[in-house]
Amino acid sequence: MNKIANRQLAKEILKNRYLYILLLPTVLYYVMFHYYPMYGVLLAFKEYHIRDGILGSPWTGLSNFEQVVHQPDFWRAFYNTLIISVGRIVFEFPAAIIVALLINEVAKAKLKRFYQTVYTFPHFISWVIISGIMLNFLGESGVLNQIIAAMGFDKVTFLTDPSLFRPIVFLSNMWKEVGWSAIIYLAAIASINPELYEAAYVDGANRYQQMRAITWPSIRGTAAILLILAVGNTMSVGFEQIYNLYNAGVYETGDILDTYIYRTGFTDGASFGVTTAVGLFKAVINCTLLFTANYTVKKLGGEGLV
């Protein structure tokens, strides 16, 4: 029985041999650059000695995690990550929906495309470039401060003031991504049957009512999926943005787990074991939140992700 099954399998594999040849680069890639690094997670439970390598380094049980929870900077980064994450969902998430609904209300196709073109461009620019643009715009002798000074007010240190850092993070990310995020909603809206609107118009529904009754239900499902993904990323709040915008003056409100890991591991020379522990802590929370959010949405009758 087993032999027959094996022979059957061998036959199937032989028949599809060209597919396996084509798939080889992909499999190699994921093994080499995703799964091979994963075994390094063991370091979270070890004390890393460069000479012994990851496998040869001695086990230390949970002592890395104990060290982590006794560092106030870790808790500060954890708290900042949470706050910025919640802020993104509260401020940035609805912004894309609102922009999509506004663009959708534009009647002229050409004008619609113009708005979309302008709003989407910054998505393709890296955070390095955008931080440079922001420096020019918000810096001490930047455009905004020139205007403020010209109007007779005191200059504002936008980029080094800890109390302004988070609002700037939200606003600049909105500036960069709102157009791109809106596209997903606009595509969902575009698939609505136009006759629905015509019927509603004949029935005397005004534009706001049409939006509530026709447009919004059509993008609700998309919004739910994006929300699940956002919740599943609670512990990763945009390393590239924060790293390019923050400075020692705003660690208090701006240092997040990702920047904390990089800074302590690579510049402050903290032990790789401890920083790996922080990384693992982050990944586990993200994974848990993703599946919880997915489960909740499904329970509420929505369409889940996995």
Q: What part of residues 110-169 is at the interface with another protein (CB under 8 A)? A: 112-113, 115-122, 124-126, 128-129, 131-137, 141, 143, 146-147
Smallest distance from another protein to CB 292, Å: 13
Amino acid at 6: N
For residue 164, give both structure tokens. 């302004």
User: Stretches 67-75, 82-90, 151-159, 193-201: which one binds another protein (CB under 8 A)?
Assistant: 193-201
The rounded distance, in Å, linking the Cα atoms of 54 and 187 is 47
The rounded distance, in Å, linking the Cα atoms of 185 and 221 is 10
Beta carbon nearer to another protein, 146 or 157: 146
Beta carbon nearer to another protein, 84 or 223: 223
The rounded distance, in Å, linking the Cα atoms of 225 and 10 is 40
DSSP string, 222-288: HHHHHHHHHHTTTT---HHHHHHH--GGGHHHH--HHHHHHIIIIIS---HHHHHHHHHHHHHHHHH
69 sits near another protein (criterion: CB under 8 A)? no
Nearest CA to 172 out of 135, 118, 223 is that of 135
Among 41, 82, 148, 156, binds another protein (CB under 8 A): 41
The rounded distance, in Å, linking the Cα atoms of 219 and 191 is 10
Among 87, 283, 298, 302, binds another protein (CB under 8 A): 283
Instruction: Show contacts with another protein in window 219-278 (CB under 8 A).
Output: 222, 225-226, 232, 240, 244, 258, 261-262, 265-266, 272, 275-276
Site size for another protein (CB under 8 A): 101
User: Stretches 61-69, 80-88, 162-170, 187-195: which one binds another protein (CB under 8 A)?
Assistant: 187-195
Secondary structure class of 46 (helix, strand, coil): strand
Smallest distance from another protein to CB 173, Å: 14
E strands, 57-168, in order: none
Query: How remote is the C-alpha of 36 from its chain's centroid?
Result: 24
Instruction: Show contacts with another protein in window 87-106 (CB under 8 A).
Output: 99, 102-103, 105-106
Smallest distance from another protein to CB 116, Å: 6
Which stretch of DSSP H or E encloses residue 221? helix 216-231
Beta carbon nearer to another protein, 25 or 72: 25
Smallest distance from another protein to CB 226, Å: 8
Among 2, 3, 5, 34, binds another protein (CB under 8 A): 34
